[in-house]
Structure 1
Amino acid sequence: MTELVRCGWAQGDPVMEAYHDAEWGVPVRDSRMLWEMLMLEGFQAGLSWRTILHRREGFRRAFAKFDPAQVAAFGAEDVERLMGDAGIIRARAKIEATIGAARIYCAMEAAGENFSDWVWGLAGGVPQVNDGVHVPASTPVSEAMSKALKARGFKFVGPVIVYAWMQAVGMVNDHAPDCFRRGEV
């Protein structure tokens, strides 16, 4: 039996391997899922993706399955509840940023703007395929998207976080050249 070759970051942890094999780099066009992944990437700031991924179900439970309308209605009591939830990263600024981002998302939707169309438009509309060898921390596209997200009021959306998000949701294909997923996504 031949063992699958994966990107190095995904090896050695069954949760990371499953995420890599099924999700990472697959183009996502669903607005809600794009928003969820952006919020999770924001929680990753200063931490590892492994930490976030292992708590993803806790995040989904705590943040109403990342339903923007429900999260937008969260108030001070919810912030305190979330600050006591050991199933997530208990960082007040990140929790408040997620609630604020839900309100921004809902305002965009109410104005007839589709989050997916907007962010994919900023990314050029189609996935960018890189060589998978020289993987940057950020790019001019992630810098521009970061600036656009910040202009809307989003927080924890610096160019490095945005680039990691772009990789996760398939706006960029940075699978290693020998990774079995490179050609599939």
Structure 2
Amino acid sequence: MTAYDFALLILRVALGLTMAAHGYNKFFGGGRIPGTAGWFESIGMKPGVFHARVAATTEMAAGIGLAVGLLTPVPAAGFVALMLVAAWTVHRANGFFIVKEGWEYNLILAVAAIAIAGLGAGKLSLDYAFFSGTALWDWVQGWRGLAVAVALGLVGGIGQLAIFYRPPAKTDA
């Protein structure tokens, strides 16, 4: 094992389990799906129950997929789509910095996932175990992996916003 492969493992697991925890929390924490659905409705993601389930499922699947390094560009695309939607609907108006609830954290999660898709999941991954030496190997890492993560993520996030996002009406205070 090299330091490179071990470092990728640490990054994948930390990033992936962080995202999976967000999905788990939507399913089982606090307000669960009904509470999350109400919040989604309030920010303009309608129907709220649909989006709560989609977000929770995508967060868990993308997080676990990245953590184990399985078809790495696909869960990385999930990160991109999730973080694009979150940044646009919740954090955009607050500016960049997270201390003011800006989109800084969303950017870091998406970019880290894209970087992993480009680098590949490393030798300590299911990608390596299943695809090393096969025709799929070039699609789960390198330029193709990076392109898949970015393209699928942007299409997913922009598509979701275009189809479902209806910003709440502004009220004068």
TM above 0.5, yes or no, is no
Larger helix share, 1 or 2? 2
TM-score of the aligned structures, taking structure 2 as reference length: 0.30
- Highest relative contact order (Cα 8 Å, sep 6+), 1 or 2? 1
